[in-house]
Every structure is written in C-alpha cells, then in structure tokens.
C-alpha cells in the first residue's frame, strides 16, 4: 500500500457540490500531485458487471444512475457487511495511489472514515461539504425515499468531529475562505 502525504476524506449530501469542490482542489494542487479517488467507482464497476449495465453512465449525475441507485446501495451494503474496508482498499490500490495527495471524494459511512484514520492516521483530514437544501434543490436535488433517508446519505450526519467544514452555497468568496485552511495544510505537507 502506498503512503500518501495527505488524505482528504470528503463527505456531504447529494448535490452539496462535493465533486465541484474536489475538482477545484485537484486543479490547485495539480494532477501530478493529486488524485481524486471515488469509493463509489469500484462499487459501480462491479455492480455494472454483475447487472450488465453501462459503467460510465453509472459514474455521472444522470437519470440512468438514479434509476439504479437504490439497488446499488443495497448491493454495496451487502458487500460492506462482509468486509467494511473492501471498497476503500479497492479505491486506493491503483496507479493513483502513488500520488502524494489523495482526495477521497465520497465517504458515506463511518467505516469509510475509520479506514483512512486507521491506515493513514497522521495525514488524514475529514471534510464535510454543506449546502442549504434550497441550494441543493436548485442544483437538481429531489428527495428520494430509500436513498436520501438511507445510511449512504445519513450515516455521517451526526457524531463526526470534522476537521473542516466547507460552506458551498454558491458564494465563491465564502467557498474560497472555507478552502483556504485546507489549501494551506496541503501545500505545507507538499513542501515538507
């Protein structure tokens, strides 16, 4: 297993803007230094194979993905019950794990955070991306029973002491202010 200099573990509700924020950070640090790793990628890959679905369409924010989301969540939970770190290990076992900065863009459960804190304790920082419901709705959020009230959306809502909280309500100045301490931390780690 590679040892990164920094592991940033992101969480947030659907349509809070996690991908937007993590893309901004990757641009800042450069793709040569920084990799965005999605815990959902190996889940979606295997789910697509098992169910003869289009993997690429399951990766984007499409109606196609939404059509299969509930069953994908159920299937993923079955895998996690057998091995809580399964998707974390798969996600961090590829070429991208050789880069010094890992951005885990989609932690959804406590075992996800525990995995990185246990395996990379000195360099892991947890980050919650928050956006008001009205903003999420403008971004296309529609409450879906069995999805938005499931552990995959609510498992990290309480009892987590986040290292950073990002305010992503569409105000670029506020967003930049929220990102500044994270950027400073990563840049200091890269210099050392």
Beta bridge partners of 180: none
Rounded Cα–Cα distance for residues 186 and 190 (Å): 6
Please name the residue that has the structure tokens 């399964």: 86
157 known ligand binder: no
168 known ligand binder: yes
Residue ranges of alpha helices (H) inside 13-85 are 18-29, 40-51, 55-59, 63-82
Rounded Cα–Cα distance for residues 31 and 134 (Å): 33
Closest CA to 107 of 123, 82, 87: 87
Q: Tokens for 25? A: 């950070």
49 known ligand binder: no
SS3 at position 72: helix
13 known ligand binder: yes
Of all helices (H) and strands (E), which one includes residue 178? Answer: helix 172-191
Reading phi first (left if > 0) and then psi (alpha if -120 to 50, else beta), residue 177 is in alpha
Rounded Cα–Cα distance for residues 60 and 55 (Å): 9
15 known ligand binder: yes
105 known ligand binder: no
16 known ligand binder: yes
18 known ligand binder: yes
Binding-site residue set for substrate? 168
* Binding annotation: 13-19, 139, 168
**Binding residue numbers for ATP:** 13-19, 139
């Amino acid at each position: 297993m590679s040892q990164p200099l920094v592991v940033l573990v992101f969480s947030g509700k659907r349509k809070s803007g996690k991908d937007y924020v993590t893309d901004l950070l990757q641009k800042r640090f450069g793709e040569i230094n920084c990799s965005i790793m999605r815990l959902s990628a190996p889940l979606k890959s295997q789910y697509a194979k098992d169910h003869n679905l289009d993997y690429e369409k399951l990766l984007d924010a499409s109606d196609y993905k939404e059509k299969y989301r509930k069953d994908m969540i159920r299937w993923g939970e079955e895998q996690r019950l057998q091995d809580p770190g399964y998707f974390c290990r798969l996600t961090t076992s590829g070429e991208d794990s050789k880069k010094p900065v890992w951005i885990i863009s989609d932690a959804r459960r406590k075992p996800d955070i525990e995995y990185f804190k246990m395996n990379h304790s000195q360099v892991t920082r947890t980050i919650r991306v928050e956006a008001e419901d009205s903003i999420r709705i403008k971004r296309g959020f529609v409450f879906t029973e069995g999805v938005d009230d499931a552990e995959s959306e609510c498992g990290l809502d309480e009892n987590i002491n986040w290292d950073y909280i990002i305010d992503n309500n569409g105000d670029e100045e506020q967003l930049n202010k929220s990102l500044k301490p994270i950027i400073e931390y990563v840049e200091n780690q890269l210099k050392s």
